[in-house]
């Protein structure tokens, strides 16, 4: 089993994506490779990832996972914006009622 640092493996994975897309012309397969986590890619290629001393192991998310997370955050943001608009509308209505009562 070959051993590579995470940076070396990231570089190799990026090259594999480019080669598959540009040379082989297989865009779908290139996207599949790009969507794999670094750990999945290493396992499939029988490569062991070596982390330098003192390096923190960070969980690596796939492109697909990041896109899904962005969609979740956008939906949540839209929901919060709707709630803010409702609150703003209620506050405007209350201000209007106070003005009407003050005139009487």
pLDDT tens-place string over residues 56-99: 656 667 888 889 999 999 999 999 999 999 999 998 887 776 55
User: Could you tell me if 12 and 38 lie in one domain?
Assistant: yes
Instruction: Tell me, yes or no, whether 5 and 35 share the same domain.
Output: yes
| Residue 39 token pair | 């750990």
Which range of 7-11, 49-53, 91-95 scores highest in mean pLDDT? It is 7-11
Same domain, residue pair 20 and 37: yes
Host domain of residue 99: 61-104
Cα dihedral sign, 24-26-29-33: positive
Summary mean pLDDT of the chain: 85
Burial class (CB in 10 A: 0-12, 13-18, 19+), 55: exposed
pLDDT at 73: 94
Residues 85 and 43 in one domain: no
Is the pTM above the cut of 0.75? Answer: no
Asked if 72 and 97 sit in the same domain, the reply is yes
Mean pLDDT of 25-30: 94
Q: Are 5 and 51 in contact (CB under 8 A)?
A: yes
Shared domain for 4 and 43, answered yes or no, is yes
The tally of domains found in the chain comes to 2
């Amino acid at each position: 089993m070959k051993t590579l640092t995470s940076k070396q493996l990231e570089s190799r994975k990026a090259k594999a994506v480019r080669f598959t897309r540009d040379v082989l012309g297989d865009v779908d397969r290139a996207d599949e490779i790009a969507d794999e986590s670094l750990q999945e890619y290493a396992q499939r290629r029988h490569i062991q990832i070596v982390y330098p001393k003192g390096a923190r192991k960070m969980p690596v998310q796939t492109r697909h996972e990041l896109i899904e997370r962005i969609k979740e955050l956008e939906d949540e943001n839209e929901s919060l914006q709707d709630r803010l608009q409702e609150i703003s509308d209620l506050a405007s209505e209350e201000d209007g009622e106070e003005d009407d009562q003050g005139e009487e």
